[in-house]
Amino acid sequence: MILGLLREPGDETRVALLPELVKELVVAKVEVLTENSAGEKAFASDADYEAAGAKLASREAVFERAEVLLQIQPPNDSDLSLIKKTQIWISVFNPLWETVLVDTFLKKGLTTFSLDSIPRSTRAQAMDVLSSMATVAGYKAVLEAALRLPTFFPMFMTAAGTIRPANVLILGAGVAGLQAIASARRLGAQVQVFDVRSAVKEEVMSLGGKFVEVEGAVEDKAAGGYAVEQTEEFKRKQQEAIDQHAAKANVVICTAQIPGRKAPVLIHKATVDNMKPGSLIIDLAASTGGNCELTKNNESVVHKGVTIIGQSNYPAQMPVDASRMFGKNVFNFLKLIIGEEGTLNLNFDDDIVKGTCITHQGEVLNERVKSIIEKKNGSPAIKETEIKTGTKTKK
């Protein structure tokens, strides 16, 4: 198999594989073709890649020769014009949300994998890029808040008086939220947390956060551990409780998301109106609309002295460890599609391979994406009778 490792576009600083893992792929008889300067912004030089056994090439040459193309960011129009039907595109493109891009892949008949669709199962944990990147985001969000806040995070008792600890409100206690709780507690802040899943209460408490309970949350076991849409009655009660806590908070970190939907709006303009001037909202749900009504993706806005930071790519601010974690996850995933002697082996009988594959030969393979695309287009996005399995066709 020839794996093409691409240089990331725009402001992205990460790289999908660092040289240390390229070395392991080469041992597994995979030929790694690395685009010139692919790792530059993550402090991995071309010489490091060459020493690991990769061959360097221009972007055009990587597109020309590779069987598998690997890039963290989704393809742009120019990439789309270069990808061939015989190639496999692997990246992270939020297919539950970016349905127009999925439609484009379908129309072009491309085989695409989105690593954010890796099932949340025990076997797939070592491949879970969402958890890795959410860990970076939760940590970085707290550090950015601590740097920008005009007050201390910890309590100080000094000769100049007592400084009260910062109040941090965290909305959503998934992977990013839990990391934010841990990081804010390490810096000495008092932390209050909202979530609609009661299962996270103990985890929040074990990290030293206070879980604010709102009765009547809807939970659905079939949602695979994810949150689901809430009733209007619950939303009203939750809103009142959040408003009260936001008015006392110095920092609000928003992480609440529902896969495939717009992020729930939990901080309305009126809530921000009542927050303390100088306080901060860091919205990690910005790319799907944000938890704050005033959030703008990848922008900072100030409203009545409250700064609202819509940040959807904190991992790009920590490229070395973010790339290291991402790369390890990708490497573990690639092992599933590398056969003997380093050949490409797509086995759609494997639930992780099938679940992560978004489009293949004009069909949508991921079940959740398939149902969203079918609803959107009003027609089946997959043929019922045939699913290709490796080189054989299984009926």
Instruction: Give residues 60-79 in contact with ligand NAD (rule: CB under 6 A).
Output: none
Nearer to ligand NAD, 52 or 118 (CB): 118
Q: Is 301 helix (H, G, I), strand (E, B) or coil?
A: strand
The number of beta carbons lying within 10 Å of the beta carbon of residue 336 is 16
Neighbour-count burial for 6-29, b at 16+ CB within 10 Å, e otherwise: bbbeeebbbbbbbbebbbebbeee
Instruction: Give residues 199-258 in contact with ligand NAD (rule: CB under 6 A).
Output: 200, 225-227, 230, 255-258
Q: Site map for ligand NAD, 85-124, x if CB under 6 A?
A: -----------------------------------xxx-x
Nearest CA to 112 out of 373, 309, 286 is that of 373
d(CA 64, CA 341): 22
CB 215, min distance to ligand NAD, A: 13
d(CA 15, CA 230): 37
The footprint of ligand NAD on this chain (CB under 6 A) covers a number of residues equal to 32
Of the candidate residues 196, 281, 309, 334, the single one contacting ligand NAD (CB under 6 A): 196
The count of C-alpha atoms lying within 13 angstroms of the C-alpha of 123, restricted to the half-sphere facing its C-beta, is 9
For 220, phi then psi, to 5°, come to -135, 115
Q: Is 112 helix (H, G, I), strand (E, B) or coil?
A: strand
Binding segment toward ligand NAD, per CB under 6 A, in 126-134, 138-146, 312-320, 350-358: 126-134
Q: Site map for ligand NAD, 145-184, x if CB under 6 A?
A: --------------------------xxxxxxx-------
d(CA 6, CA 16): 8
For 341, phi then psi, to 5°, come to 60, 25
CB 373, min distance to ligand NAD, A: 20
CB 276, min distance to ligand NAD, A: 22
Structural contact between residues 142 and 244, judged by C-beta atoms closer than 8 angstroms: no
Binding segment toward ligand NAD, per CB under 6 A, in 20-28, 137-145, 152-160, 259-267: 259-267
**Could you identify the residue written with the tokens 């109040």?**
167
Q: Quick check: 197 binds ligand NAD (CB under 6 A)?
A: yes
The count of C-alpha atoms lying within 13 angstroms of the C-alpha of 386, restricted to the half-sphere facing its C-beta, is 9
The number of beta carbons lying within 10 Å of the beta carbon of residue 143 is 15
Nearest CA to 308 out of 278, 288, 263, 287 is that of 278
Structural contact between residues 245 and 274, judged by C-beta atoms closer than 8 angstroms: no
Binding segment toward ligand NAD, per CB under 6 A, in 98-106, 194-202, 297-305, 331-339: 194-202
Of the candidate residues 36, 37, 99, 131, the single one contacting ligand NAD (CB under 6 A): 131
Binding segment toward ligand NAD, per CB under 6 A, in 127-135, 352-360, 369-377, 378-386: 127-135
Q: Which residue is nearest to ligand NAD (CB)?
A: 174
CB 217, min distance to ligand NAD, A: 8
Instruction: Give residues 260-319 in contact with ligand NAD (rule: CB under 6 A).
Output: 264, 266
Structural contact between residues 226 and 258, judged by C-beta atoms closer than 8 angstroms: yes
CB 378, min distance to ligand NAD, A: 27
Give catalytic residue positions: 120, 125, 128, 131, 226
CB 233, min distance to ligand NAD, A: 13
First to last CA, the chain: 27
Nearer to ligand NAD, 34 or 238 (CB): 238
The number of beta carbons lying within 10 Å of the beta carbon of residue 259 is 18
**Could you identify the residue written with the tokens 């944000």?**
290
CB 134, min distance to ligand NAD, A: 5
| Residues contributing to the site for ligand NAD (CB under 6 A) | 120-122, 124-125, 128, 130-131, 134, 171-177, 194-197, 200, 225-227, 230, 255-259, 264, 266
